[in-house]
Amino acid sequence: MTTIIDNVQLDYSDVLLQPKRTTLNSRKEADIIRTFKFKYYKKALSATGVTVANMATTGTFEMAKTMSKLNAVTCLQKHYSVDEIVEFLKSNDDNSLVFISTGIKDDEFQKTCEILDTGLIDKVCVDIANGYIPNLSQFINKLREKYGNNILIMAGNVVTSDMTQELILNGADLVKIGIGPGSACTTRKITGIGRPQLSAVMECADAAHGMNGMICADGGCTCPGDIVKSYAGGADFVMIGGMFAGSDESAGELIKRDDKELKLFYGMSSGYAQNKHWGKMNKYRASEGRVVEIPYTGPVENTIEEIYGGIRSAMTYIGARRLKDIPKCATFYKVNRQLNEIFAK
């Protein structure tokens, strides 16, 4: 029998954070660098947790070079060749905040192992749209058995506690949370599947943290405040695509139209991406992404500094001295409207 879960499910736009008495007198006192320790991976990682999505337009070598200097993580897109990745890793000053990305096919496992075996990188993002299929857990388990605690594994995507725990039990250090929240994703429209992102983050973070795992909230952030809300909901890492897609470091085509500069941004399940990167759109599937033109934003450093400024400011409002303290200090108001945009239209 079909059932309905009738408790309220929330997106970032449905809440605001309550300001609280604080001991911080300045944004400078807010520490946004966190040292992460993982369930399996034996090394610690110091970063802000802001993560660039492994989309073809954003998960670029140029993005990784810049973001590493800014204490942010980059997941490289899947479509670079082994030779291209190895050449980049050899030339890059610091690969500690860089993940390679892979699907779960046999040839992708071999490609991943070939790169890991160079010793130039030890972080993998196992990325498929539907993290509920058995092959994902099996792929993670296979990687973990081969490399033990010498690699950091991020995997997804899921939106429920049961599969979050399933992926962690099979060897994932980080579980990627989100189905359909991305600006270039149409999965919810095409399939009817999904879950409001904040509720997914809160449930999955609770499930992961209970077994010493972590989560990466993937998608749905439209502004720095959404990233803060994601951390407040329990996310350890927050993955972003669209907010970085207009930057110089993005691989999207630069378009000039009506005295405006735009950049092309597309979902990885879109028909455009299927034809561009796989040469065809298989008849058994539908396009679950869109192609959009977004405003050109210049160097990505401009965007990341605005994000960091927003996080620091929020921390002073709620009294969180450290990034990891945000959930402990957070109380949400459920709201019907966030902004007064009468003069912005």
Catalytically annotated residues:
185, 187
**Cβ-contact 317, 20 below 8 angstroms:** yes
CA distance 111 to 51: 23
Task: Tell me the HSE value of 160 on the side-chain side, using a 13 A CA sphere.
Answer: 9
Structure tokens at 10: 């929330």
- DSSP string computed for 205-266: HHHHHTTT-EEEEES---SHHHHHHHHHTT-SEEEESGGGTTBTTS-SPEEEETTEEEEEEE
**Cβ-contact 199, 220 below 8 angstroms:** no
Q: What is the DSSP letter of 289?
A: B
Helix/strand/coil (H/E/C) assignment for every residue in 132-171: CCHHHHHHHHHHHHHHHHHCEEEEEEECCHHHHHHHHHCC
Q: What is the DSSP letter of 233?
A: T
